[in-house]
């Protein structure tokens, strides 16, 4: 009976030792850092991923995720020209892993709802108020960059680092949407009129060029004919005409009745 008591006692000791041994080590998973507390007080520094020793029932290790996290926000704000704008924004961020102990001490594990989401809402409203509704559309990339820079300034003292911000959508009032549509219609009408005017101008230029080409060709033809006639006049002399007449004479003199015979006159061909 006594032996059984010793056996039970020894087993109990082994269980306690095993439990203490199990409680003496902690594993920090990849993508996390470990925040160490001793009797509830946060200790300076963080534990990197891996196996670490600790004092059972005295120290605890709280994991903090260091991977990039995402938060989405829908916010309604007024633009610079007092248009109501509803924005849908997505922010990617991560914690400063080297300051995990300070982050946990200040905000605990609910830092996303305590600081990130409110800061995002405030940044959306502040940035929206700096631009007109039309600028929010045309300068979308610039607006996103300004909003992200504003968040960096708001969150850096809280050991949270924004990595990327995207504007998913802007929603405007129906009155503003109608005004934008009317403006686009007017711009398209102006563009069509401009294109039509350009087409008419090009066709007029083409017609003018074609008419000038024809006039130049006609002038050149007349100039060539004039030069040919001048050359012909310079070439045909009276002697040449007399020679051509002699060449064509058949040797017969004309017959006249009466007295004195006139001098024979050779017919002179005309120049064609």
Residues 129-141: tens digit of each pLDDT = 999 998 999 999 9
Contact 79, 131 (CB under 8 A): yes
Compare 214 and 184 and report the one with higher pLDDT.
Answer: 214
For the chain, give the percent of residues with pLDDT over 70.
75
User: What is the domain partition of the chain in residue ranges?
Assistant: 10-65, 69-172, 175-227
Q: What is the pLDDT of residue 37?
A: 93
- Which residues are CB-contacts of 150 (< 8 A; sequence separation ≥ 6)? 123, 126, 127
Q: What is the pLDDT of residue 232?
A: 66
Give the C-alpha separation, 107 to 71, whole Å.
17
Instruction: Assess whether pLDDT exceeds 80 at residue 162.
Output: yes
Instruction: Assess whether pLDDT exceeds 60 at residue 272.
Output: no
Compare 215 and 108 and report the one with higher pLDDT.
Answer: 108
Contact 54, 28 (CB under 8 A): no
Instruction: Assess whether pLDDT exceeds 70 at residue 253.
Output: no
pLDDT, averaged across the chain: 82
- Which residues are CB-contacts of 210 (< 8 A; sequence separation ≥ 6)? none
Q: What is the pLDDT of residue 196?
A: 82
Q: What is the pLDDT of residue 64?
A: 94
Residues 3-32: tens digit of each pLDDT = 566 666 666 666 555 555 556 788 999 999
Backbone angles phi, psi at 115, to 5 degrees: -130, -40
Q: What is the pLDDT of residue 146?
A: 96
Least confident of 94-98, 216-220, 260-264: 260-264
Backbone angles phi, psi at 27, to 5 degrees: -110, 125
Cβ neighbourhood burial of 80 (10 Å; 0-12, 13-18, 19+) = middle
Instruction: Assess whether pLDDT exceeds 90 at residue 206.
Output: no
Task: Tokens 């940044």: give the residue.
Answer: 123
Q: What is the pLDDT of residue 251?
A: 65
Residues 70-83: tens digit of each pLDDT = 999 999 999 999 89
Going by C-alpha positions, the residue among 171, 157, 158 that lies closest to residue 89 is 171
Cβ neighbourhood burial of 46 (10 Å; 0-12, 13-18, 19+) = buried
Please tell me whether residue 234 adopts helix, strand or coil conformation. Answer: helix
- pLDDT category, 205, cuts 50, 70, 90? confident
Q: What is the pLDDT of residue 270?
A: 53
Compare 8 and 215 and report the one with higher pLDDT.
Answer: 215
> What is the sign of the dihedral through the CA atoms of 109, 112, 114 and 116?
positive
Contact 168, 86 (CB under 8 A): no
Q: Domain 69-172 belongs to what topology? A: Tetrahydropterin Synthase; Chain A (3.30.479)
Average pLDDT over residues 146-174: 93
């Amino acid at each position: 009976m006594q032996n059984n008591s010793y056996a039970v006692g020894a087993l109990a000791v082994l269980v306690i030792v095993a439990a203490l041994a199990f409680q003496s080590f902690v594993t920090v998973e990849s993508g996390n850092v470990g925040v160490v507390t001793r009797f509830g007080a946060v200790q300076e520094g963080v534990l990197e991923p891996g196996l670490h020793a600790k004092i059972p029932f005295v120290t605890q290790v709280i994991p903090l995720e260091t991977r990039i996290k995402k938060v989405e926000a829908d916010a309604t704000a007024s633009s610079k020209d007092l248009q109501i704008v509803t924005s849908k924004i997505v922010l990617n961020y991560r914690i400063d892993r080297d300051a995990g102990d300070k982050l946990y001490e200040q905000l605990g594990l609910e830092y996303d709802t305590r600081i990130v989401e409110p800061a995002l809402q405030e940044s959306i409203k502040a940035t929206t108020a700096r631009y007109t509704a039309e600028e929010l559309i045309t300068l979308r990339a610039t607006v996103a960059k300004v909003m992200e820079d504003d968040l960096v300034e708001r969150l850096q003292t809280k050991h949270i680092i924004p990595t990327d911000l995207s504007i998913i959508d802007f929603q405007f009032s129906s009155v503003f949407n109608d005004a934008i549509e009317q403006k686009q219609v007017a711009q398209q009408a102006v563009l069509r009129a401009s294109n039509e005017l350009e087409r008419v101008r090009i066709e007029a230029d083409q017609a003018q060029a074609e008419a000038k080409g024809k006039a130049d060709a006609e002038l050149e033809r007349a100039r060539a004919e004039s030069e040919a006639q001048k050359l012909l006049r310079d070439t045909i002399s009276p002697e040449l005409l007399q020679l051509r007449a002699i060449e064509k004479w058949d040797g017969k003199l004309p017959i006249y009745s009466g007295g004195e015979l006139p001098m024979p006159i050779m017919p002179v061909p005309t120049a064609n």
